[in-house]
Structure 1
């Protein structure tokens, strides 16, 4: 029963999907549609003008005739094409490497040493228990006040975890 209560606390509730609340649903839908229109309309205008510029007026419409704007659009399209190309190279390389690892054709190396990680967690928990009290008290209290002598020095926890005890 307590587990279900914890799961319920982790979730959130959106009245848009609840029964009733028609005013909220209508208002949020109208705001969403207006925002999408504010995003789409300038894009359509710019796209149609650029198409008209490229086709010398055969297709699209000229909403404006600024040569600087046409150069800016051409530059942005070049930058976007380059960015998309770089993303495609990265994605294809990552997919190739993962497939090689999955089929056992390349070495699989561990990303984390689990034994060392568990030792570091235990060291940190031991230090925090000595310094601030038991974990159950620390995690279940609503407001925890740290006394001035309990403040940690810069990188103190990091040094304790990595075995460089501080005086």
Structure 2
């Protein structure tokens, strides 16, 4: 890649991304962000070390134990059992609900007609007739007319379509 296209691609990248941390200077920003990152990792690592040193590695000599009370180990292992059982129960419930929902969808929802087809067709025909009467033939208004100016007298009232539906259903 030649120098000009490389410079252009760098300029394009700079338009979309900007991070002062990686620029020259900004010493206090870098120091603050590194310090916050290190403190955050300490908050992650210390509880894990604390828990493992007091439970799993309690009889090992290579790791110093923070506390060695039997109650703490019992709580740790009982929580472990609780979370394993809770995970299994929730997984079974999730699978059962999914199967039930799929069965219900296949057997009931798709077989139930949610609308009256005769009523739908009558409404559709009524509105087509109204549009043809008001705005002209569908082929003309869809294919030939590119610009159409509506006069204030031609504006539809808010409940025009509702009136058409009601009038057609009463017949």
TM tier relative to shorter chain:
0.3 to 0.5
User: TM-score, normalised on structure 1?
Assistant: 0.41
TM-score (normalised: structure 2): 0.40
- Max Rg structure: 2
